[in-house]
Amino acid sequence: MLRFALSRFASMIFVFISISILVFLIFFATPGVDPAARIAGRNADPATLAAVRHSFGLDRPLPVQYLIMMKKLFITQDLTSFVNRGQKVVPEILAATPVTISLVVGAAVLWVIFAILMGVTAAARRGRPIDPILMAVGLIMLSIPPYWLGEVTNLITQDRLHSTVFAWVPPLGYTPFSQNPTQWFLGLVLPWTVLAVGYIGLYGRVLRSSLVETYSQDFVRTAKAKGLSPRRIMLRHALRTSMITFVSLFGLDFAALLGGAALLIEVVFGLPGIGKLTYDSLENFDLPVILATVLYAAFFVVLLNAIVDLFYAVLDPRVRRV
């Protein structure tokens, strides 16, 4: 176990270094992103431009800038934004974290529950009409562009039906749980639903297919021969081994979401989470914030993939722990 943890920790360092170098290279390879002119203001003269560049350290060689930025981010933790001068990046990220976690965990609970329901029902009733119907519904859910769905949800709940059916919907934005739990919840119900919709379709589909596969296996036939009820077979035997693909995908998606992949949902619903931070930093070409958010996301990817790898052994004891 210790070996496992150490090796994964080493891999995290590797991933961090590669990703941060990639971010740096990509940023500086982009024409026109030099922040000096934008910060210096329009019609600044060459001397002013040079002064501003110097104050941001942009006139130093790239590797030096890279090392300084990484040091500021991890060691001294006083990395500041290019766009909002003086604003520290690390506290910004920490402030945004609870918002994203609230959004993503809630949505994950929703989509796991409904995807399992959908997949199990479709697999159990395979061949009957409910099967392709559920799959069709799932695919439609998967194909809806999330930004569009969010805007339409707002259109209906904040505008058209706001005074009647959806009067309970609070104004867009985030209320911390510690401040007002009810508002926190009410304000997240719709974002949870919109975020979960796409994933329910995908995961339901995937699970159904895995279940159908598993059903043709030996141990299921043995269980049937032993006289176990279909429900018991499904829930206690088939479901576990069918979850491999489900869990693999979940690890990837959950990691990406925690790292800010739900940025469009956060933007549409006015939730100041990591996704929104990422989105703003990309809009503004704010390198320090981009770097910080990307590394933050990478952390979750490595962490969750490690957890999923451990989990394979739980799901299917035949698998040696990798």
Structure tokens at 12: 């995290």
User: What are the b/e assignments for 51-66, b being 16+ CB within 10 Å?
Assistant: ebbeebebeeeeeebb
Which residue of 26, 62, 94, 235 would you call a contact of other proteins, by CB under 8 A?
Answer: 26
Query: In sequence order, which residues have a C-beta less than 8 Å from that of residue 252 and are 6 or more positions away?
Result: 301, 304, 305
Does the footprint of other proteins cover residue 179 (CB under 8 A)? no
Does the footprint of other proteins cover residue 72 (CB under 8 A)? no
- Cα–Cα distance for residue pair 70/75, rounded to 1 Å: 8
Does the footprint of other proteins cover residue 101 (CB under 8 A)? no
Does the footprint of other proteins cover residue 162 (CB under 8 A)? yes
Does the footprint of other proteins cover residue 182 (CB under 8 A)? no
Which residue of 90, 98, 285, 307 would you call a contact of other proteins, by CB under 8 A?
Answer: 285
**Distance from first CA to last CA of the chain, Å, rounded?**
10
Query: In sequence order, which residues have a C-beta less than 8 Å from that of residue 66 and are 6 or more positions away?
Result: 20, 21, 24
- Cα–Cα distance for residue pair 205/139, rounded to 1 Å: 8
Q: What binding mask, one character per residue, do residues 249-268 give for other proteins by CB under 8 A, x or -?
A: x-xx--xx--x---x---xx
Does the footprint of other proteins cover residue 117 (CB under 8 A)? no
* Stretch in the footprint of other proteins (CB under 8 A) among 48-56, 64-72, 111-119, 181-189: 48-56
Reduced to 3 states (helix: H, G, I; strand: E, B; else coil), residue 176 is coil
Which residue of 190, 258, 262, 297 would you call a contact of other proteins, by CB under 8 A?
Answer: 297
Which residue of 121, 175, 193, 217 would you call a contact of other proteins, by CB under 8 A?
Answer: 217
* Stretch in the footprint of other proteins (CB under 8 A) among 62-70, 175-183, 189-197, 220-228: 220-228
Which residue of 74, 213, 224, 310 would you call a contact of other proteins, by CB under 8 A?
Answer: 213
Q: What is the DSSP string of 177-208?
A: TTT-HHHHHHHHHHHHHHHHHHHHHHHHHHHH
Does the footprint of other proteins cover residue 9 (CB under 8 A)? no
Does the footprint of other proteins cover residue 164 (CB under 8 A)? no
Does the footprint of other proteins cover residue 248 (CB under 8 A)? yes
CA angle at 219 for the pair 216 and 224, rounded to the nearest 5°: 80
Does the footprint of other proteins cover residue 68 (CB under 8 A)? no
Which residue of 66, 79, 92, 102 would you call a contact of other proteins, by CB under 8 A?
Answer: 92
Q: How far is the CB of 276 from other proteins (least distance, A)?
A: 7
- The backbone torsions φ and ψ at residue 229, rounded to the nearest 5 degrees and listed phi first, read -70, 150
Does the footprint of other proteins cover residue 166 (CB under 8 A)? no
- Cα–Cα distance for residue pair 26/175, rounded to 1 Å: 36
Q: What is the total count of residues that contact other proteins (CB under 8 A)?
A: 117
Which one-letter amino acid corresponds to residue 283?
Answer: E
Does the footprint of other proteins cover residue 100 (CB under 8 A)? no
Does the footprint of other proteins cover residue 312 (CB under 8 A)? yes
- The backbone torsions φ and ψ at residue 80, rounded to the nearest 5 degrees and listed phi first, read -120, 160
